[in-house]
Amino acid sequence: MNAQIFPRGDRLPEGTFTGAAYLYPLEDNDLLNAGAVTFEPGARNNWHAHPVAQLLVVTAGEALCKEEGKPAVRVRTGESAYTPAGVRHWHGAVPDAEMTHVAVTLKGPDGPVEWGRPVTDEEYAQAAAEAV
């Protein structure tokens, strides 16, 4: 188990996540939304995009991050991943370990996120196999 620096928080809705994920809110204001999100092994969010941008900082475990049209990457504890405005992507835990990241999402006029379809098991397995 990974050492956690934030409480687990409340479970996130299943409609935008596959598997169990939990949110501990850190900040929500006119400019940005920030929270510590803990994913159980294999859990991930749906494909989505941010109208402005997003920064993830992994605080425990390893994340899988996948931008549309690019190879998946592993983001380890202490590393970060930046997603520019409008880029479709998803992120979640590796198959065999829990992961927590702090997500800092800048808000646009239509909010911080535009949700898409779930990541299929096949897409997830391919990402886990290709990520380095």
Q: Render pLDDT for 40-93 as a digit per residue (tens, 0 to 9).
A: 999 999 999 999 999 999 999 999 999 999 999 999 999 999 999 999 999 999
- In a 3-state reduction of DSSP, which class is residue 116? coil
pTM for this prediction: 0.93
d(C-alpha 42, C-alpha 3), whole Å: 18
Please report which residue ranges of 48-99 form alpha helices under DSSP H. none
CB atoms under 10 Å from CB of 97, counted, come to 15
